[in-house]
Amino acid sequence: MGYMLGQLSTRSSQPFTVDQTHGILRRPEHRIEASSDSLGWTSLYASTQREGSYEAAFAPVSDHLIIVHLDGPVRVSRELDGSRTHRLVQPGGLFILPAHREFGVHLGGSLATVHVYVRDSVVREAAAELAAGDPDALEVLPRMGERDELIESAARAAGELVREGQGGELIADSLAHVLAAQLVRKHSSATRICESSARGLTRARLAQALAFMEEHIEQPICLRDMAAAIALSSVHFVREFRRSTGTTPHQHLLVLRVERAKRLLGTNLPIAEIALRCGFSHQEHLTRVFGRIVGLTPSAYRRYRRS
């Protein structure tokens, strides 16, 4: 098996593209359905595809690969560190390949998958927040065939977003931090997890966070910027915000945007303009989120208000 060279990752401020992956997706046996290349995500790369049977070896890249099997079972062989492992992987089974590791793989049949790459910098940030010791010394452990409901759920959510061609940097960051935290907690060499004594944000910090969301509601908002606004790391911010509100920053921001849209639907502004004023990328994006939260389309809600 010859090596298919993958490029090492650029800085995390740069868009994460297929050029920074192992090159698995470019193999002729595979048919890509959708990917995040056009979405501008920086902390996460995601794609959905139908893979055909193949055998190949791949050079290392700088970030962590998670593959979720959507159907099967299928036989997979993995070569890593000079040893070969064989497994019949069931639907929902994971393939985790840590950063900076070369590997070989033989896929024994056709398979639908979601591929997700998480930036190593995000994993290091999670390690600094959650694990004892030097975060740079922590190692993500390879997996093949194991189940992890949290990782599977987050990966499937990323797959849905790329299939819909939706999802800003905030939701990508949120998914990346969820995946990174779970890699550290359940799939790493961490010997002890540091439990924070804090139980939610202080009232002042929560007010700051909500004010930041309101002030920037029309703009794309990055999770890093939200956390920095109240002087916390992204991992700490997501965890403590959820403890305080029962929801994630991304979910809360969507509710704020929908509430603003509801107010503006009482005016004569076109719905497309309302979408932009509320931070949605276009009218269809507003319609989809509004319908999920309110149970009506924006047009139907406007008619209801005027009746």
Q: For 134-147, what is each residue's pLDDT tens digit?
A: 888 899 999 999 99
pLDDT exceeds cutoff 60 at 32: yes
**242-261 average pLDDT score:** 90
**∠ at Cα 216 (34, 237), nearest 5°?**
75
The answer to whether 151 touches 94, Cβ cutoff 8 Å, is yes
State the pLDDT confidence band at 195, using cuts at 50, 70 and 90.
low
**Mean pLDDT score across all residues of the chain:** 89
Residue 84 CB burial class (10 angstroms; 0-12, 13-18, ≥19): exposed
Domain assignments of the chain as residue spans, ordered by start: 3-186, 203-246, 257-306
pLDDT at 8 over 80: no
The pLDDT > 90 percentage for the chain reads 68
pLDDT for the residue numbered 56: 97
Let me know the angle formed at the C-alpha of 301 by 295 and 304, rounded to the nearest 5 degrees. 120
Q: What SS3 state is found at 193?
A: strand
Question: What is the model's pTM?
Answer: 0.76
Say whether pLDDT at 196 is over 70.
Answer: no
Residue 78 scores a pLDDT above 50: yes
Whole-angstrom distance between the N-terminal and C-terminal Cα of the chain? Answer: 69
Instruction: Please report which confidence band the pLDDT of residue 1 belongs to, taking 50, 70 and 90 as the band edges.
Output: very low
Q: What is the mean pLDDT of residues 182-197?
A: 76
Looking at residue 132, its pLDDT comes to 82
pLDDT (mean) for 225-245? 88
Report the sign of the C-alpha dihedral through residues 225, 35, 62, 248, in that order: positive
* Whether pLDDT at 281 is above 50: yes
pLDDT band at 11 (very low <50, low <70, confident <90, very high): very low
Looking at the domain covering 3-186, what would its CATH class be?
mainly beta
| Closest by CA position to 188, among listed 141, 146, 135 | 141
* Percent composition of the chain: helix, strand, coil (DSSP 3-state, to 5): 45, 20, 35
Query: What is the amino acid identity at position 91?
Result: P
Alpha-carbon gap, residue 281 to 285, rounded angstroms:
6
Assess whether pLDDT exceeds 70 at residue 192. no
pLDDT at 198: 52
Residue 7, pLDDT above cutoff 60: no
The string of pLDDT tens digits covering residues 94-132 is: 999 999 999 999 999 999 999 999 999 999 989 988 888
pLDDT band of residue 3 (cuts 50, 70, 90) is very low
Class of domain 257-306: mainly alpha
Q: Determine the average pLDDT of the residues in 271-285.
A: 92
